Amino acid sequence: MLENIYKLLIFLLIMADSFVLAALSALSAGAILLLFVIIVWSLVWKGIALWKAAKKKSLVWFILLLVVNTLGILEILYIFLFSKISLDSKKKKKKIR
């Protein structure tokens, strides 16, 4: 059973790899460069947002940021808006107690 699953995974990886290579060969050099810049942009913001969500122990935000790809838009909103809102509310609760 495990051997069949292993073979299927290898087959899917080979097919996905050949699909990516075929898609990239159809793109111009400028389009590939743009795609690379978009990927790096998105990964940087995603990494910062995931680190911040993990540090705050916000599991819902961590999973949402991990699964949803928005080219950095959701990540930027989380970093500069949503993470500060929840941080302020925690500070207020601590002061009341």
Q: pLDDT tens-digit profile of 47-82?
A: 999 999 999 999 999 999 998 888 888 898 888 988
Of residues 4 and 93, the one with the higher pLDDT is 4
Which pLDDT band holds residue 91 (cuts at 50, 70, 90)? low
Q: Distance between CA 41 and CA 48 in Å, rounded?
A: 11
For residue 18, is pLDDT > 90? no
pLDDT of residue 4: 81
Packing angle between helix 59-67 and helix 29-55, nearest 10 degrees? 170
Mean pLDDT of the chain: 80
